[in-house]
Amino acid sequence: MPVKLKRLSLYLHQNGPLTVVLPVAAALVLVCLLLHTMNGRLRPVLETTASSQATNLITQAINTAVDNCLQENGMTYGDFVTMETDSAGKVTSITSNTVSNSRFKRQVVESVIRQLGALDSGGLGVPLGTLTGQPLLSGVGPKVRVEVDSVGDVTADYNNSFTSAGMNQTLHRVCLDITATVYLFLPGEVIPVSVSSSVCVAETVIVGETPDTYLNLEKGNG
């Protein structure tokens, strides 16, 4: 028998196996407690930072999708609404162009889904130094990877607003309220991140008294 094994055998015979098992078990318990404590402190920072990064990427994806659809379709204010005037040129009514609005909204939703599906996860990740919460260590160290696991629901609704734009003038804005959700895959956890963004797709200044009739301009039309 080798000398080292003889010494170990003699040590166990003299002191018993518990003298070896207990210190090892205690060390393992301490390591587990340390990891649990670190996880409890670092995970909220990781979730908050990763969610903030994802929110910025989602907002950019929404804006890009709307801009692309506006350019591809050459959409202007007149494509979203139709103004009716009387013989004196006074605006008497504003009517939503339901068919074109529905088509544009559907295209935007599809474009947002494509944009989110192509998100570069390489831009997501939190340096270990940032997780410590120490300003001097912010941005230092290897990144804890965060992946976009899947794209959830994407919804869109129109929202019209009329606000004063000066003497006898009214600003009419047509906005698209878009809500998008993605799921982030963090180490050992999947969390949803939802972003709601209102993007103006058309606007004009109405000169004179605002019309008394707004047809199909309620929120969610189209």
Q: Are 84 and 130 in contact (CB under 8 A)?
A: no
pLDDT, residue 147, reads: 73
Residues 6+ apart with CB under 8 A from 45: 126, 130, 131, 133
Region label for 208, one of left (φ > 0), alpha (ψ between -120 and 50) or beta (otherwise): left
Q: Are 163 and 175 in contact (CB under 8 A)?
A: no
CA–CA dist 138, 154 (Å, integer): 34
pLDDT, residue 179, reads: 95
Which H or E run includes 185?
strand 169-186
* Averaged pLDDT in 10-residue chunks for the chain of 222 residues: 52 50 53 44 73 88 94 92 81 86 95 84 59 52 65 90 83 93 82 92 82 56 54
pLDDT, residue 137, reads: 47
pLDDT, residue 144, reads: 62
The answer to whether the predicted template modeling score (pTM) of the entire model surpasses 0.75 is: no
CA–CA dist 190, 144 (Å, integer): 14
Beta strands in 46-106 (DSSP E): 81-85, 91-96
Q: Are 142 and 127 in contact (CB under 8 A)?
A: yes
